[in-house]
Amino acid sequence: MWVKYKKKEVIVIEFSSIEEVIEYIRGVLGEALGEVGEDMKEIMVKAIQEDIYDDHSPKVYERTGQLLNTPQITEHTSDSITTEFLDNGDWSSVISGKHMFPIEEYQKGSVWAPGGGRYSADVLETAFTECQLEIPEKLIQILRSHGIPIE
């Protein structure tokens, strides 16, 4: 049995075995990964908003906002979290009428622009870079807030 309490703004946790320590850390890590997974999704949505939606307005179709629903947590285990842009909308090419995933087309720079030319956006790189900058520190802060000393 472990006990957690605050003593002069320091979290003190007492365990009766190393197994309890490991169980506690795994539990906190699993919860923390869920929190940062949601943060990762927010970063991905922000990348779509800034790199695509704020960049231009469509002239040939009405924007549905579906693209903002593509960031999803696709796997969450006790020691990892995976987020992805999922092709979960009903998008189609204004040229061919066939299904297409806008994120992929923006990455390739093959989204048609009125008057000629193409739109491109590196949403994956934008989101990946922001996640690398923000998520490790957020995870460390969460673990520290639960009394796990991370340097």
Classify residue 48 by burial, with Cβ atoms within 10 Å: 0-12, 13-18, 19+: buried
Tens-digit pLDDT profile for residues 52-79: 999 888 777 788 899 999 999 999 998 9
Q: What is the pLDDT of residue 42?
A: 98
pLDDT band at 130 (very low <50, low <70, confident <90, very high): very high
Q: 47: buried, middle or exposed (CB in 10 Å: 19+, 13-18, 0-12)? A: buried
pLDDT in tens, 9-64: 666 788 889 999 999 999 999 999 999 999 999 999 999 999 999 988 877 778 88
pLDDT at 49: 95
